Structure 1
């Protein structure tokens, strides 16, 4: 690997590609020319020769001057940004802003001389206009009417200066549960926890435990056919929801089924319920039974009233829903990797895909119907949670990206970078780095698309929710790009317009009345946390990661704007952590870069330091008394100013098993582990809610 020369480094800088960085151990690292070249190529930049590289450098400014308007202007409420308008030198121009609500505002020109440039043989000038301070929050269109040309437009997004906390949270802390929905198997589950189970957990958490919210794993859709991806953080789309979480019996049409059809649905339910005793979660078998039942319900049809509601949903979700449903139907026929489909089917806008839609209209309609059912059941879950006493209700999780062969990869086209996968550089807990096998957003294409795909995704996740957790929110500032075929340590950072991405997140959360939690763990630029605080976004603090001067961070040292918890899904449940099951697992899987004895000694020392911190606060502090120690850890966090305090559901039952081991795929049953008790026995949702310990733990911090 060779270091980049000056020309390549300057071109990389122009596209936001890092040529160096500081690793987790404070070592300054130079990114190789090979990595930078691959990343620039994925951004559509020609670096195949010195001549091409020089041409690409000139193209950076030339492409901006070719545009009449920037593709997107993202501002804040009350700001008055200047907007450049490029036009033939001397031509007249008029600019106006078409507001989201239908109004129009004239945009004044300001006196700002910019020297004209020769662009593609045309002497081109730059006029400057200033957006008025009174432009309201929302999505608007800026129109430039240039003499002798067709009108040009740009998306204008005005975002809140700061996302205010939801009602109640500003003046008090709220405690909640953190759960993997698929683990919540009940007597009526099809081997996988569903939205009815989530509603039962939420209402129990509110009524019996005094909780105000429940944070769930991403509910994004996986493949519609086997094998279904187990990881909720590697979905086929982030905009739509996994129908595996539907409770069939809660669909209104089930009540009107004929005796024969209802018996057939019941038979599929029994097949699914038999999976509740399996030692690992079998999504494929569960979905086979549930899909068969859903197809029976769908075939029974809708009443006129319900049909109109479904039509309204389809109209509101538009082409994005059509494309997703089309991908599902195509995947049924050709497999779930669109890159291996016949060439004519590899683009959602091709004539062959149009023909397929006409021929398979009923199948596509079925997949649209599934999303409508999910929207209704998600709304019902949130309503029940709040009626039971939760102030926020369900907080949804947004994954970092999507599967490279999935629906979004097919439907969003070059909005995603090809030949690149995202991940994380080596750090303390993943010392060989991580590759998440997901294509990243292209920053340039997002702006050209007016950030519409990003906005539409956020709106779906925020609908009928009290909040959103953004996994790896640092990826909205910079994201670790790994060229395919290279190791995680051979990647580099690509920078994003965080003012735009964070601002749009705040705007959509503001409209939904939701709180935003950013998972800001790992290697983080210091300014990023300051920026999040400025915009009203909560960070994430995990007790085992919080240290100061070699000691466990005192409760008073925690941030106020954060979700504090003892553990997270990428660590062992606390009882297992105290027994060092995570070290044993990482040694078994070959993920350690140091001797296991060294790792064990370091972890035991960390636990001892935490025990000392508990003792200093007068709390029980013997790690061998696991139940009391877990309660003490949560009481310790309750002494902090953190606005949100999370309790992991596995900690309520003394579960030991790791849910997910980062850096692995098939080596461990990631995301397929059901809830188990201290002895390893399966624990159903009914058993969980009947146990006395969850009340003791929760009430120790909720009162």
Structure 2
């Protein structure tokens, strides 16, 4: 693990000496590469390590994020000094921690600071001036709100072939709003590998966390040209369940994007819009060339030698196919759109595919030779190995969190609420060496105060609230940090059972009956067994969630009572899985399985045109809407 972090060690016996040398290097760095200050709490302060008591003055140069510069001098008499212990480093002189107050009113943002010390040494740091919290839901109209959830690949309208497009997403948003809901949640909308190699349709193994998924682009709807139509291709399994055939669909949709790329230059006005967007998003060019290179040569690990270390890919053989992805990204940004962002509840996965663009283009930020995962628990006795490389905890700091900032800005700017997958990863992440099992990993710590600072800055800039996925075994310190920073928790019904009933959710929470990693509620209910079912029915009746005339044995009446409970509760947001409304029993994902299972492929059993006219579904959502607005149960 120390080797993976970049430390020069060949044998475990060398660990004490290697760690002493590493500590020595850290102490010589004078100050941390990143420091955080909360806006509105007086002048910002910097912490600097020095071996000499300062005499004279310190000169502070600040380059603000907007390019403005400031310079101040600070007399030594105004600097607070505290002696610091230097463990196991006798070769170092005594160290003192300087606390240097900057007499500046700095705006929220990222500011480069250089401090010239009286002894001639210089300290460099990135000062993050952050708001106290992320955007709170009640400040953007999301207090006592509700929304619907469905994976976009599962969504269709009149017939399965018309599904899985950004067009369908807009239609679902419109209907949800008509019913009184304010949000539509879905799984990550990031690009995934759908060619022959690699092939991984999991939305939690994206090619990149910086771009949108071209798979959902609807070229025919954009140009109103059915010649560009690329229907969703499905297959039927032995149970009669319709599953997405990603490879066949992507071949057709990729062809449609190529045709669109051929046609657009003839439309001067639209082509000018494309060029303007590309000029404003220069990073998309390298991404497009990367995708074209993967289409031609396979994953980067198999590329010919002349390409393997080429970080520009400005080569004729990939330029022509790259335009498919340039147009695809432009169209995805248009169709996902900013006009509907107030209704989107997006999901940010923890990692990226090891052969993906982010790892290839920023190899120094990712740790190869290990995988993120989870230790053994009652559900996975062997632990879990998730298969993607973790971020390097120190190199992302030295890079000023630029990649993390870009990832968060990309998502927050397109949504009203963002779910952070495995928010505990802000604090620590379980690393498993390559080839080892989930039993053989270790936790590696990150700097949570810096992650939360970036999140708060980008959240406030975008006007987007944030929820953290905190399910399972999560240290109390993580949930305290979430509350202090204004993040919503996830309250999920089966995890909140207590003495026959349910614990009340906190106000800062997204409450739901289950998640995409659990079976739908109807299946969960069957798993609970008769004794638990009777206890839950009794608890719901005792608290008035069944109304006179309700048949407590009727599944729809039970679902209505649970929606009344969630709606009347204090959680800021209630999220309803649409498949629960028709008592679906098949899950969308079976954790711990891979491509052998139909994960991330199952279409909803009912299409949009069908369920929007279903009286029972409308009544269930009307019940939720009424209780959210404080009406009678």
C-alpha distance in structure 1 between counterparts of 2:439 and 2:113, whole Å: 43
Secondary structure of the corresponding residue to residue 443 of structure 1: coil
Structure 1 residues 301, 147: CA separation in 2 closer, same or farther (over 3 Å shift)?
A: farther
C-alpha distance in structure 2 between counterparts of 1:604 and 1:652, whole Å: 22
C-alpha distance in structure 2 between counterparts of 1:610 and 1:47, whole Å: 57
Structure 1 residues 83, 360: CA separation in 2 closer, same or farther (over 3 Å shift)?
A: same
Deviations 1:131-152 (A, max 9, x none): 4462211122113457998987
Whether 1:613 aligns to 2:539 is: yes
Alignment correspondent of 1:301: 264
Structure 1 residues 66, 280: CA separation in 2 closer, same or farther (over 3 Å shift)?
A: same
Matched ranges for 1:652-667 at <5 A: 652-667=581-596
CA apart distance, 1:318 = 3.1
| Preserved contact between residue 166 and residue 513 of structure 1 (Cα < 8 Å) | no
Matched ranges for 1:182-193 at <5 A: 182-187=153-158, 190=161, 192-193=163-164
Structure 1 residues 491, 606: CA separation in 2 closer, same or farther (over 3 Å shift)?
A: farther
Whether 1:368 aligns to 2:329 is: no
Matched ranges for 1:362-441 at <5 A: 362-379=320-337, 382=340, 392-441=342-391
Whether 1:155 aligns to 2:126 is: yes
CA apart distance, 1:185 = 1.7
| Preserved contact between residue 385 and residue 432 of structure 2 (Cα < 8 Å) | yes
Match of 1:101 among 47, 66, 85: 66
CA apart distance, 1:94 = 2.5
Match of 2:496 among 533, 546, 554: 546
Secondary structure of the corresponding residue to residue 95 of structure 1: strand
Alignment correspondent of 1:6: none
Whether 1:222 aligns to 2:192 is: yes
Secondary structure of the corresponding residue to residue 511 of structure 2: strand
CA apart distance, 1:672 = 0.7
Whether 1:279 aligns to 2:242 is: yes
Q: Normalising by structure 2, report the TM-score.
A: 0.88
Q: Name structure 1 gaps, 5 residues minimum.
A: 1-38, 256-261, 384-391, 581-601, 677-682
CA apart distance, 1:187 = 4.2
Secondary structure of the corresponding residue to residue 431 of structure 2: strand
Alignment correspondent of 1:58: 20
Whether 1:241 aligns to 2:209 is: no
Match of 1:488 among 430, 438, 442: 438
CA apart distance, 1:69 = 4.5
Secondary structure of the corresponding residue to residue 66 of structure 2: coil
Secondary structure of the corresponding residue to residue 244 of structure 2: coil
CA apart distance, 1:221 = 0.8
CA apart distance, 1:168 = 5.6
Deviations 1:342-384 (A, max 9, x none): 34433453xxx5453x55333323322211211111115616x
Secondary structure of the corresponding residue to residue 301 of structure 1: helix
Match of 2:11 among 33, 49, 63: 49
C-alpha distance in structure 1 between counterparts of 2:276 and 2:90, whole Å: 47
Structure 1 residues 250, 145: CA separation in 2 closer, same or farther (over 3 Å shift)?
A: farther
CA apart distance, 1:485 = 1.7
Secondary structure of the corresponding residue to residue 217 of structure 1: coil
Secondary structure of the corresponding residue to residue 418 of structure 1: coil
CA apart distance, 1:120 = 10
Whether 1:631 aligns to 2:560 is: yes
Match of 2:471 among 521, 528, 534: 521
Whether 1:200 aligns to 2:171 is: yes
Alignment correspondent of 2:45: 81
Match of 1:111 among 71, 79, 82: 79
Match of 2:221 among 227, 250, 255: 250
Structure 1 residues 107, 673: CA separation in 2 closer, same or farther (over 3 Å shift)?
A: farther
Secondary structure of the corresponding residue to residue 158 of structure 1: strand
Alignment correspondent of 1:648: 577
C-alpha distance in structure 1 between counterparts of 2:412 and 2:22, whole Å: 36
Alignment correspondent of 1:510: 460
Alignment correspondent of 1:588: none
Q: Provide the alpha-carbon RMSD of the alignment.
A: 3.1
Q: Normalising by structure 1, report the TM-score.
A: 0.79
| Preserved contact between residue 565 and residue 634 of structure 1 (Cα < 8 Å) | no
Whether 1:176 aligns to 2:147 is: yes
CA apart distance, 1:101 = 2.6
Secondary structure of the corresponding residue to residue 610 of structure 1: helix
CA apart distance, 1:525 = 0.5
Structure 1 residues 545, 275: CA separation in 2 closer, same or farther (over 3 Å shift)?
A: same
Secondary structure of the corresponding residue to residue 594 of structure 2: coil
C-alpha distance in structure 2 between counterparts of 1:412 and 1:47, whole Å: 24
Alignment correspondent of 2:631: none
CA apart distance, 1:276 = 8.6
Number of aligned residue pairs? 608
| Preserved contact between residue 191 and residue 282 of structure 1 (Cα < 8 Å) | no
Secondary structure of the corresponding residue to residue 592 of structure 2: coil
C-alpha distance in structure 2 between counterparts of 1:477 and 1:398, whole Å: 17
Stretch moving more, 138-147 or 472-481: 138-147
Stretch moving more, 478-487 or 93-102: 93-102
Deviations 1:417-459 (A, max 9, x none): 1111112223344444332211111111110110000000111
| Preserved contact between residue 234 and residue 242 of structure 2 (Cα < 8 Å) | no
CA apart distance, 1:577 = 2.0
C-alpha distance in structure 1 between counterparts of 2:607 and 2:448, whole Å: 42
